[in-house]
Structure 1
Amino acid sequence: MTPPPTSPLGIHALVWVGDTSPDSVRYAVERTAACGYDLLELSLHDSVNLDREATRKLLQENGLRAACSRGLARDADVSSDDPEVVARGAELLHESLAVTAAIGGTVLTGALYSAFGKAPAPLTAKGRANVVSVLRELAEEAASHEVTLGLEICNRYETNVVNTARDCLVLADDIGADNVMVHLDTYHMNVEEADLVTPVRDLGERLGYVHIGENHRGYLGSGHIDFPAFFGALVEIGYAGPITFESFSSAVVAPGLSNDLAIWRNLWDDGEDLARAAHAFVSDGLRSAWASSAA
């Protein structure tokens, strides 16, 4: 019997801490390793406080892989029609790539293509062309650092650029770089996709990163997302990329970011219990899906 694909299991640092100060990064790294995860995803919203060399060393000492994620702001939006706004967004993306490479990360993902938040109007043709141009150039630089770019598909209230897997495939094709992959997130899929299986099948080998999140961003299994179907689809396509648990609570997330993400409730206040439960949930779900497929 062929063994199942082995995906590195990751966790978002915002399960542990709300910033990237040295003490916070150390805590996030050490707790991530202690809970049995393989990868830590760091949000770069606070990257000015991130000690790159110390973080790289900590990750290596604890045997962890790293991914970085970020969104953009209205005044630094690469999907804008305004050249100055696009230039600021491009600069921010290149700086984020530099941070990712410096800490030894192999993935830079997120809504790299637009400002984060509800857009005031539909995307324009000029704005989309700006997205393609900026990300094509970013991908070329990322390749020199052996970094893969992820296009995280977000819901309509967070972006007007791509909301479904099929939308994102078209954008990735237009960018036309081998190191640009598609990033699925079950929280966003729950809003925009007709089901949790078809997008996985549509993407196939183009799927490169996965966020696992409940419909209310709390404990896995406490909402209504059909995770068995999703895990079954991942097994069906032989997915072996990172699977990262993402959950937010106002008990941990910094107030400014909590506002951006609309985290108005304390869904949990014990990050370690949440993390251990999530690790078991995902591991068991993948094993069950593989056993069902092999039966």
Structure 2
Amino acid sequence: MSVLQLPLPSRIQAPKICPCNPRGGAVITRAASPVVNAAAVLPKNLIGIHSGVFVGDWRPEDAERAVKGAKEAGFDLIELNLSVPEEVDAESTKKVLEKYDLKASGSLGLSRATDISSSDAEIRKNGIKLLSGALKALKVAGGKYFVGVNFGAMDKYREPLTAEQWKHCVASLKEVASEAADYGIEYGLEVVNRYETNILNTAQQARELIGDIGMDNVTIHLDTYHMNIEENSMEQAIQAAGDKLGYIHIGESHRGYLGTGSVDFTGLFRGLAASGYTGPLTFESFSSAVVSPSLSNTLCVWRDLWDDPDDLAVKAHSFIESNWAAAYQLYSRPKAWSKPV
């Protein structure tokens, strides 16, 4: 993480977007002296970006383009789309990552045909096979974080989860999380909105599922896009996740430029700082300008929210780094919460 000189604000201010660039320009905050060295006090969180910002496929030229773009924008980590793990050349991916000195995480969303919470044993078997393949690819590539909707189908359900499906989910996750543990991989369960799963919609539900799984390498993956829909507040969700919070997706309410939508980023970074969070902060954004066959329709990416991946990436990195630094200096404390949220 680069050394960042930030003035210490007298009180936290909501991030503002520079009026000279309404698409997502530099973040500005009201501030007063003294100037402090943010890098000297910040925890060494990896700042990451989803590969889908740059490319839709993962051919050798795509891997080069995405990893190079992420590095040049200042990121420490790139999140790989492992929805079709056999299409990812893990060995060559590892070489590209080493070439640009970048770390990797991996993610996917299961389908109805690979739903490990299903009452159909064959469907659960297919899901476990897919997850195992993704974990193996991530291990070879050198990644340490496996996240996403890796606990059930990423789809719209019209009925609540049954007790039987919950049990199937727990049993399946114990199996795949055990394999992840053997590889030294943290298995993060992404909490998403009610239109994308009927299993985990809140941090509290994820905490309960992890309790039933009972494995140390299973953690909670929170995403601001989904938190903005389902949680009472960013701070409450972070507090509910507690020490099981392992991965964060930083995304805007419309999945475009950060700071141009309705997500409460002030609350997010304040909550993370107060909790002492040290995991990755990964930017996620999608536009039909970059088409991924395995993601575009699943995520309903049908609009051109942006058309310049490099500009988007640079501004996202600046937004995350500057707002995280400002919040951390104001709200990090030996005791996480000084007042109810």
TM category (shorter chain) comes to: over 0.9
Q: How big is each residue's C-alpha offset from its partner over 1:221-263, in whole Å with a ceiling of 9 and x where there is no partner?
A: 0001110111011110111100000000011022552111011
Q: 1:249 and 2:306 equivalent?
A: no
In 1, the alpha carbon distance for the partners of 2:263 and 2:148 equals 21
The aligned runs of 1:227-266 (5 Å cut-off) are: 227-255=265-293, 257-266=295-304
- What is the aligned counterpart of 1:62 among 89, 97, 100? 100
User: What corresponds to 1:132 in structure 2?
Assistant: 170
Amino acid at match of 2:125: A
In 2, the alpha carbon distance for the partners of 1:66 and 1:288 equals 26
SS at match of 1:118: coil
Distance 1:122 1:294, change over 3 A: closer
User: What corresponds to 1:98 in structure 2?
Assistant: 136
Distance 1:128 1:63, change over 3 A: same
- What is the aligned counterpart of 1:285 among 319, 323, 326? 323
- What is the aligned counterpart of 2:223 among 175, 178, 185? 185
Q: How big is each residue's C-alpha offset from its partner over 1:167-187, in whole Å with a ceiling of 9 and x where there is no partner?
A: 000001111100000000000
Amino acid at match of 2:205: D
In 2, the alpha carbon distance for the partners of 1:26 and 1:261 equals 25
Name segments (4+ residues, structure 1) moved above 3 Å.
none
CA contact (8 A) 2:191 2:226 kept: yes
In structure 2, list runs of 5 or more residues that go unmatched: 1-35, 334-341
Q: TM-score, normalization: structure 2?
A: 0.84
In 2, the alpha carbon distance for the partners of 1:133 and 1:118 equals 23
User: What corresponds to 1:150 in structure 2?
Assistant: 188
In 2, the alpha carbon distance for the partners of 1:4 and 1:275 equals 21
Further displaced range: 44-53 or 123-132:
44-53
Shift of 1:47: 2.7
The number of aligned residues is 295
In 1, the alpha carbon distance for the partners of 2:332 and 2:120 equals 53
Report % sequence identity.
45
In 2, the alpha carbon distance for the partners of 1:81 and 1:273 equals 45
Q: 1:41 and 2:79 equivalent?
A: yes
- What is the aligned counterpart of 1:21 among 34, 39, 59? 59
User: What corresponds to 1:212 in structure 2?
Assistant: 250
Q: 1:221 and 2:259 equivalent?
A: yes
- What is the aligned counterpart of 2:312 among 265, 274, 287? 274
In 2, the alpha carbon distance for the partners of 1:104 and 1:271 equals 25
In 1, the alpha carbon distance for the partners of 2:135 and 2:158 equals 28
Q: 1:75 and 2:75 equivalent?
A: no
In 2, the alpha carbon distance for the partners of 1:145 and 1:30 equals 26
In 2, the alpha carbon distance for the partners of 1:290 and 1:71 equals 32
Amino acid at match of 2:80: L
CA contact (8 A) 2:252 2:261 kept: yes
User: What corresponds to 1:86 in structure 2?
Assistant: 124
User: What corresponds to 1:196 in structure 2?
Assistant: 234
The aligned runs of 1:165-180 (5 Å cut-off) are: 165-180=203-218
Q: How big is each residue's C-alpha offset from its partner over 1:103-136, in whole Å with a ceiling of 9 and x where there is no partner?
A: 1110111111111110142211111111101111
SS at match of 1:149: strand
Amino acid at match of 2:215: A
In 1, the alpha carbon distance for the partners of 2:118 and 2:294 equals 23
User: What corresponds to 2:26 in structure 1?
Assistant: none
Amino acid at match of 1:269: D
Shift of 1:154: 0.6
Shift of 1:292: 2.0
More helix by share: 1
CA contact (8 A) 1:31 1:272 kept: yes
Amino acid at match of 2:100: N
CA contact (8 A) 2:85 2:133 kept: no
Shift of 1:48: 2.4
SS at match of 2:83: helix
Q: CA RMSD in A?
A: 1.5
